[in-house]
């Protein structure tokens, strides 16, 4: 994250589920580019360190919120990816649906409304969105990416910033058009089969997908006829 400019100074934090009751979390106030293995902190599911003197990340609440609603995940990565954060500052959604790979890998990317960093308010907003998404942006702040492993979560972070950068470049060159709705629905189905990004339950349910497709095609027909 440090090498790729996705965090700076003491920013960002990473955690891994070690066992059903133990987490491994990065420490507070340490530059993650110069982290040593001995700096990492083992905590319980309330974020309390095993060794009292250890200072666990100030944003540990975000991680605890994720593990509390997602028994399927093994890792959480929080960063401040600059292009993706800039989109939230400009009031632009990252749910642009421009590039098929990012639709498959990242799914829909929601943005949690602004809340003060390291508070329960912020964690609560993110918790709700993580129920149905693997990547969540926090307005004016950063990203939370989850995955079955730390590399799976990290890959989502890299893809998120890469997608934001492509969107930014495309917007500065012209007016990029989103993929057609039926193609996005097809990509979501593909992602369900390939075990891609998590998405709202309705979209991964074959019956619901068929219904969505039918409604979309009727809407498109009506638009063609009605102009």
Interaction residues for Zn ion, span 76-105 (CB under 5 A): none
- Closest distance of CB 24 from Zn ion, Å: 19
> Which DSSP state fits 36?
-
Question: Quick check: helix, strand or coil at residue 89?
Answer: helix
Give the Cα separation of 136 and 41 in Å (integer).
25
Q: What token pair was written down for 144?
A: 């939370």
> For residues 142 and 196, which CB has a smaller minimum distance to Zn ion in the complex?
142
- Closest distance of CB 37 from Zn ion, Å: 23
- Torsion region of 159: left, alpha or beta (phi above 0 gives left; psi -120 to 50 gives alpha): alpha
> For residues 118 and 209, which CB has a smaller minimum distance to Zn ion in the complex?
118
49 phi, psi to nearest 5 deg: -65, 145
Interaction residues for Zn ion, span 126-155 (CB under 5 A): 142
Binding mask 33-62 for Zn ion (x = CB under 5 A): ------------------------------
> For residues 27 and 196, which CB has a smaller minimum distance to Zn ion in the complex?
27
Rounded to 10 deg, the angle between the 206-226 and 181-194 helix axes is 170
> Which DSSP state fits 95?
-
- Closest distance of CB 142 from Zn ion, Å: 5
> For residues 63 and 188, which CB has a smaller minimum distance to Zn ion in the complex?
63
- Using CB positions, name the residue nearest to Zn ion: 142
* Beta sheet of 75-79, edge-to-edge order: 41-43, 22-25, 13-19, 75-79, 142-147, 135-138, 111-112
> For residues 38 and 116, which CB has a smaller minimum distance to Zn ion in the complex?
116
For Zn ion (CB under 5 A), the number of binding residues is 1
> For residues 50 and 124, which CB has a smaller minimum distance to Zn ion in the complex?
124
- Closest distance of CB 157 from Zn ion, Å: 12
- Closest distance of CB 82 from Zn ion, Å: 13
Q: What is the 3-state secondary structure (H, E, C) of 61-80?
A: HHHHHHHHHCCCCCEEEEEC
- Closest distance of CB 139 from Zn ion, Å: 12
Q: Which residues bind Zn ion (CB under 5 A)?
A: 142
């Amino acid at each position: 994250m440090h090498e790729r400019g996705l965090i700076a100074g003491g920013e960002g934090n990473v955690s891994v589920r070690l066992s059903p009751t133990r987490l491994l979390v990065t420490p507070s106030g340490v530059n993650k580019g110069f982290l040593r293995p001995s700096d990492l902190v083992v905590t319980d599911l309330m974020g309390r360190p095993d060794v009292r003197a250890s200072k666990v990340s100030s944003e540990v609440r975000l991680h605890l919120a994720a593990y509390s609603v997602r028994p399927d995940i093994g890792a959480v990565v929080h960063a401040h990816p600059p292009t993706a954060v800039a989109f939230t500052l400009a009031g632009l959604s990252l749910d642009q649906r421009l590039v098929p790979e990012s639709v498959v890998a990242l799914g829909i990317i929601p943005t949690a409304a602004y809340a003060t960093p390291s508070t329960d308010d912020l964690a609560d907003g993110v918790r709700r969105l993580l129920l149905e998404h693997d990547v969540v942006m926090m307005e004016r702040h950063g990203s939370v990416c989850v995955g079955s492993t730390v590399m799976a979560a990290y890959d989502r972070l890299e893809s998120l910033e890469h997608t934001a950068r492509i969107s930014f470049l495309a917007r500065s060159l012209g007016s990029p058009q989103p993929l057609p709705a039926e193609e996005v629905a097809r990509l979501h189905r593909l992602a369900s089969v390939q075990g891609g990004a998590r998405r709202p339950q309705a979209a991964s349910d074959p019956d619901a997908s068929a219904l969505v497709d039918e409604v979309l095609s009727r809407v498109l027909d009506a638009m063609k006829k009605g102009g």
